[in-house]
Amino acid sequence: MPTEQNKVLVSQFLKRLDEDLRVIDEVCASQFVAHLPGNTQPTSREGFVQFVSLFYLAFPDLGHTVEDQVAEGDKVVSRLTVQGTHQGPFQGLAPTGKQATFTDIMISRIEDGKIMELWAQFDALGLLQQLGLLSTMESGVTVAPQHFKKEENLMHDKKELCDRIRSLYPEIGQCGIEVNVEFDEGKKVWAVDLKKDTHHLKTYLEPVDANTCMDGKQCVSLGLQIAQLAANIKSV
């Protein structure tokens, strides 16, 4: 598919995404994988739907504006302005009615007229500051840029880490979610399993993020995923 057609495909996908999440199943291939902020492992199309759903639950009027696009070969790079009004729960914060605007950079790989792979990075720090969740670097919620990592303590007591996660994210107790953690020696990350009946979320914590939890501070990426799992459970 020519590069201009690829750009149109991505632009139309983003426009329709703001109207109906079912466009993901239509435009993204069944083998689609997404590389999302805070996730050490790629996620499937279903995982991408869950991740995106969280934002539309919190910001029902969320909209993407394409500011710039560059296409080469099978890839399209898009610089986006994302804007929405905080009308639903987000990171444990009740709706504030505040408008938020942040930048998102998205790379899409196209194959046979479908999006096969996607990389995304957005200004999470700016978003949290606008909502009042992060006023200073000493706030209770911490974003840990990779190039400012403190010395990593790879090993924690599993029970203590589980207890800390439960205390930091009240949705776990409210929804009766089971939490288990195991250190993956091969990947050098903590595998976090959260289950409630048929609902299951498996995610990963980098050692620096586990340290953040043990310090009594919320990790943004884990909080986003737990909030989405809790929303799915409550919707049943």
Res 156: pLDDT: 85
Look at the block and give the residue holding tokens 């109906």: 20
| This prediction's pTM | 0.62
Average pLDDT value for residue range 178-201: 88
pLDDT band at residue 38 under the 50/70/90 scheme: low
pLDDT digits (tens, 9 = 90+) for 109-133: 999 999 999 999 998 878 888 887 6
Which residues neighbour 226 within 8 Å (Cβ) at sequence distance 6 or greater?
169, 171, 172, 177, 194, 201
Domain ranges of the chain: 3-131, 144-234
Which residues neighbour 80 within 8 Å (Cβ) at sequence distance 6 or greater?
14, 64, 65, 66, 67, 103, 104, 105, 106
Average pLDDT value for residue range 179-185: 90
Calculate the average pLDDT of the chain.
85
Given CA atoms 57, 59, 63, 64 in this order, what sign does their dihedral have? negative
Checking if the pLDDT of 221 tops 80, the result is: no
Average pLDDT value for residue range 146-174: 75
**Distance between CA atoms of residues 194 and 82, nearest Å:** 30
Are β-strands 43-44 and 178-184 bridged in parallel, bridged antiparallel, or unpaired?
Answer: unpaired
Q: What is the third-level CATH fold of 3-131? A: Nuclear Transport Factor 2; Chain: A, (3.10.450)
